[in-house]
């Protein structure tokens, strides 16, 4: 904690401000962690619906060849997207099917910061409490949390490009959530888009609030078919797309 301002906390090299009491803001990237209207609903619109979820979980053919559905996320942040996804997964998952949610995060937050941010949403109180309870005192390396018998969370700490390139399995869906492209272009580079395309199953998808032209072009150049849709809360556009089956 800084002596000057108890609302500022330094973690490695990322400093958080807290707006409205519970809304984290990264000084390093000059951006909020999610939209100020309602980050939980934004997750449902942008990342879940953007990837055709939860509907895809209900398709019997999806489960014929693979018993695990893999979601990859760029930027774990507060874990809001994981908590909302886990909540919906519990409502819609077929018996025996598994979800492995893997998130790539350079600056993992502290337990009290995650708790502070997510307490805003009573809808995910159970999921928040479970993550906070299992979260390590000094988050680093690979954090693996078996959330329940059908749900595993892995947070790979380090630069996303390294983590995605080293991932051993291919993903069904991607949540691209690395701050605004203008504020963190590294998270939207041609290299990272190519790495995540290489680690996507044929027919796999992505969703993101980003709509910048260079992001769309990098995703297309990597091999995704990209679609523009209306964004959350009046935002004109978001992007989603698919890796075409050969
Ligand atoms: C918009 S926030 C993610 C919000 C998060 N999904 C949530 O549910 O709260 C972006 C995250 O990307 C992380 N990040 C920024 N650059 C990164 C990089 N090069 N590699 C991995 N993570 C990065 C930041 O530390 C931050 O936590």
Asked if residue 5 is part of any domain, the answer here is no
173 within a domain of the structure (yes/no): yes
Residue among 76, 140, 181, 238 to mutate when testing ligand 1 (max atoms within 8 A of CB) = 76
Which of 241, 179, 246, 192 is CA-nearest to residue 218? 192
Tell me, what DSSP letter sits at residue 208?
E
pTM: 0.95
- As a whole number of angstroms, the distance between CA 80 and CA 180 comes to 17
Ligand 1, atom 5, residue with closest C-alpha: 77
| Cα 90 to Cα 164: distance, rounded to the nearest angstrom | 26
Ligand 1 neighbours, Cβ below 6 Å, are 14, 33-34, 73, 75-81, 104-107, 159-160, 177-179, 184, 186-187
Question: pLDDT (tens digit, 9 = 90+) per residue, 163-196?
Answer: 999 999 899 999 999 999 999 999 999 999 999 9
**Residue 140 forms part of a structural domain:** yes
Ligand 1 geometric centre to CA of 6 (Å): 23
The beta strand positions in 93-234, using DSSP E, are: 98-105, 142-148, 151-157, 171-176, 200-208, 225-229
CA–CA separation, 51 and 62 (whole Å): 14
Picking from 178, 216, 191, 4, the residue whose alpha carbon sits closest to that of residue 81 is: 178
Domain assignment present for 218: yes
- 148 is a domain residue: yes
Q: By percentage, how much of the chain surpasses pLDDT 90?
A: 91
Domain with 43 in it: what CATH number? 3.40.50.150
Kindly state whether residue 190 falls inside one of the protein's structural domains: yes
How many other β-carbons are positioned within 10 Å of the β-carbon of residue 154? 18
Check pLDDT > 60 for residue 6: no
52 found inside a domain: yes
For the chain, the domain total comes to: 1
Measured in Å, residue 208 CA sits from the centre of ligand 1 at: 13
Asked if the structure places residue 8 within a domain, the reply is no
d(CA 77, CA 150): 23
Work out which ligand 1 atom sits closest to the CA atom of 31. 1
Cβ contacts of residue 77 below 8 Å, gap of 6+? 24, 33, 34, 105, 109, 177
The pLDDT of residue 12: 58
What is the span of the domain harbouring residue 175? 16-243
Question: How far is Cα 210 from Cα 69, in angstroms, rounded to an integer?
Answer: 24
Pocket residue to mutate for ligand 1, from 35, 39, 75, 182, most atoms within 8 A of Cβ:
75
């Amino acid at each position: 904690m800084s002596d000057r301002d108890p609302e500022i906390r330094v973690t490695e090299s990322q400093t958080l401000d807290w707006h409205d009491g519970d809304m984290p803001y990264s000084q390093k990237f000059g951006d909020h962690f999610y939209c100020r209207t309602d980050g939980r609903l934004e997750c449902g619109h942008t990342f879940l619906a953007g990837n055709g979820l939860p509907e895809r979980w209900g398709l019997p053919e999806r489960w014929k060849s693979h018993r695990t559905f893999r979601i990859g996320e760029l930027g774990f942040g507060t874990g809001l997207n994981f908590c909302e996804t886990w909540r919906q997964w519990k409502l819609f998952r077929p018996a025996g099917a598994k979800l492995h949610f893997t998130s790539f995060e350079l600056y993992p937050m502290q337990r009290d910061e995650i708790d502070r941010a997510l307490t805003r949403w009573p809808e995910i109180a159970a999921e928040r409490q479970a993550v906070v309870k299992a979260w390590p005192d000094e988050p680093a390396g690979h954090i693996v949390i078996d959330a329940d018998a059908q749900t595993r969370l892995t947070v790979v700490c380090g630069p996303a490009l390294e983590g995605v390139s080293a991932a051993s399995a291919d993903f069904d869906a991607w949540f691209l959530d690395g701050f605004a492209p203008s504020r963190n272009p590294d998270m939207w580079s041609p290299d990272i888009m190519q790495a995540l395309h290489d680690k996507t199953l044929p027919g796999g998808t992505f969703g993101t609030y980003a709509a910048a032209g260079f992001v769309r072009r990098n995703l297309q150049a990597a091999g995704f078919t990209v679609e523009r849709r209306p964004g959350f809360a009046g935002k004109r556009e978001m992007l989603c797309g698919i890796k075409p089956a050969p």
